[in-house]
Amino acid sequence: MPIPTESLLIAAIGAVLGGGAVALAARRGTIEALRGAEKVLAEAKRRADEAIEEGAIKGELEAQRLLREANRAAEARRRRLHRYKRRLFALRAAYRSALAELEVERAEAESRERSMDARERDRDRSEVELQEAIRDQREALGAIAGTGVEEARRQLKEGLREEVRAEAAWETRRQRELASQRAQEAARQVIVAAIERCAVERSAEHSVSVVPIADETMKGRVIGRDGRNIRAFESATGVDLLVDDQPDCLVLSAYDPVKREVARLALGALIENGRITPETIDRIVGSERDRLLEVMRAEAQRVISELEIGPVHPEIVALLGRLRFRTSYTQNVLYHSQEVALLTDHLAVEVGLSYPHELCRRAGLFHDIGKGIDRAGPHAGLGAEIARHHGEDELVVEAIAGHHDGGGTASPLVSLVSAADAISGSRPGARRQTVAHYVDRLTKLEEMGAGMSGVHRCYAVQAGREVRVLVHPQEVDDRQARILAGCLAGRISDEIRFPGEIKVTVIRETKAVTYAN
């Protein structure tokens, strides 16, 4: 059956329309694929640009870090080179100094050798002269003959004895002076080394017993009605209160520095409080006394901790605390004891003694604890008694007992503490004296020297650290001058108390005057 024409036409139209739709769909897919590819390409390009920029930043930061490290390394290398350069300069200076000292020593050795050669020549000449004298005397002895032989022999022996004695005395004096010079130089080096290692941070203190007031009306309030306030204050503190001595201040007078300090603190607190009654006085004095005891104990503990000497008995700590407000020629005794402890330790190291550091420092710190005891007697003996009672080492006890006079013991520690005590007390600026005491000491020195036999005049010079004695040359010869100097030095040591040492110089002057016409 034939297909109708309309059907074929419809089929053809459908086929054409279907192909067009397919083609259209394929073109649309291609366009969308192209758009997607462009987006991916743009995203990839953006990410690539970001990665490049981030890499550049990181590279720049890394380069800066490496540059800083290189600069630090170069600076450290420059500092090391500068340090090596300074060390090289120091070594070069030390080498030059050692070379100069070697040259000086070589010159001194050559000088000594020449001096010894000269002495040997003098000795040979003296021997020749002696032999000639002996020959002359023998000839004279032979000429005398008979009964005068024994007398001539005795005269010969006496002459030889006097000559040998004079030569021996001269050589002994020369050797003694040389040994004394060497000993003084060695002692000076030891003392200087010890002082250099001892850093002193405090100067001498002076106790002040003056309390300032705002106006004169405060004096009336301190005195109170019929003087009851001032009587209560003096009874509670044991200190005399002087009201009308000086304007705008109150003066406290007492021999005990601890009581005087309690009174000063209490009076200041009363003036600040304003209410001054006997009851307030008793309460404030008691509180200030307790507070001062704590202050003294804390100060002593601080010194003990700084010296690192181990545990100390509480009673000894209390005595050390009392030294905080005691002075010797205006030098604070506690700080003086701390300085003596350090100097004793350093001196022991310098002279090569094998004492433990703790033992040396304890001996130096406790040497003046007797000054904190309110009991009659020498402070050295009292301090030694307290130290022995509380179990201190026997060497420490001996050092405390003998730091002024040696104590009759051969322990080197006693000498170390005595030397450290003298160094601390006699160094410049450590101690001061009142004018009256100073003038009295100078007067005693001059009177003591003038009272010696054969003395023409006597002068105390250099602030009383040297006594110069002028003698009559007709009455005192050279040998007696040396004896007089020793006797005067012994009398000064026995009769006068003084820090450091006093030099005694005896001057004997003779003049020979003539005129040529």
The predicted-structure confidence for 336-392, as pLDDT tens digits, reads as follows 888 888 888 888 887 788 888 888 889 888 888 888 887 777 888 888 888 888 888
- pLDDT recorded at residue 514: 79
Whole-angstrom CA distances from 397 to 237, 384, 419 are 34, 5, 17
Task: Residue 484: count other Cβ atoms within 10 Å of its Cβ.
Answer: 21
Tokens of 31: 């366009």
pTM: 0.48
State both tokens at 391. 């179990």
DSSP letters, 296-308, are: HHHHHHHHHHHHT
Task: Map tokens 């120091």 to a residue.
Answer: 90
CATH number of 436-507: 3.30.300.20
In 215-254, which residue ranges form alpha helices assigned H by DSSP? Answer: 217-223, 228-237
Q: Which two tokens stand for residue 102?
A: 């070697």
Question: Three-class SS of residue 470?
Answer: strand
* Domain boundaries defined on the chain: 210-307, 314-426, 436-507
Strand, helix or coil for residue 333: helix
Whether 266 has a pLDDT exceeding 70, the answer reads: yes
Residues 445, 451, 452, 458, CA torsion sign: positive
| CA 88 vs CA 98, 99, 256: distances in Å | 15, 16, 59
- Work out the number of other CB atoms within 10 angstroms of the CB of residue 497: 7
pLDDT, position 323: 85
Tell me the average pLDDT of the chain. 79
Higher pLDDT: 506 or 216? It is: 506
CA distance 337 to 303: 10
Q: Are 366 and 392 in contact (CB under 8 A)?
A: yes
Mean pLDDT, to the nearest integer, of 107-124? 82
Yes or no: say if 431 and 450 are a contact pair by the CB < 8 Å rule. Answer: no
From edge to edge, which strands make up the β-sheet containing 503-507? 455-461, 466-471, 503-507
Distance from C-alpha of 434 to C-alpha of 413, rounded to nearest angstrom = 33
Average pLDDT over every residue of 173-193: 68
> What is the rounded CA–CA span in Å between residue 58 and residue 55?
5
Measure the CA dihedral 265/271/275/277, to 10°. 60
The alpha carbons of the chain give a radius of gyration, in whole angstroms, of 49
How high is the pLDDT of residue 495?
84
Which DSSP state fits 403? Answer: T
- Bridge partners of 469, per DSSP, are 458, 506
Residue-level pLDDT at 471: 92
pLDDT tens digits along 324-347: 887 776 678 888 888 888 888 888
Angle subtended by helix axes 379-389 and 394-401, to nearest 10: 170
In angstroms, the CA 393 to CA 384 distance is 11
The H-or-E segment that residue 467 falls in is strand 466-471
For the residues 69-94, what does the mean pLDDT come to? 86
Fold of 210-307: Ribosomal Protein S8; Chain: A, domain 1 (3.30.1370)
pLDDT tens digits, residue range 133-164?
777 766 666 665 544 556 666 776 777 777 77
Residues 6+ apart with CB under 8 A from 269: 284, 288
Whether the per-residue pLDDT at 457 is higher than 60: the answer is yes
Q: Which residue has the tokens 């004079």?
A: 166
Between CA 320 and CA 328 the distance in angstroms is 15
**DSSP H or E stretch at residue 33:** helix 5-144
The torsion angles phi and psi of 251, rounded to 5 degrees, stand at: -110, 130
Q: Does the domain at residues 314-426 carry the CATH identifier 3.40.190.10?
A: no
Give the DSSP H/E element, type plus range, for residue 52. Answer: helix 5-144
pLDDT tens-digit map of 416-434: 888 888 877 766 555 555 5
Kindly report, residue by residue over 17-33, the tens digit of the pLDDT: 766 666 676 777 778 77
Question: What's the rounded Cα separation, in Å, for the pair 359 and 116?
Answer: 47
Within this chain, domains 314-426 and 436-507 share the same CATH topology: no
The region that residue 330 occupies, defined by phi over 0 for left and psi between -120 and 50 for alpha, beta otherwise, is: left
203 φ, ψ (degrees, to nearest 5): -95, 175
Q: Which of 307, 302, 346 has its CA nearest to residue 323?
A: 302
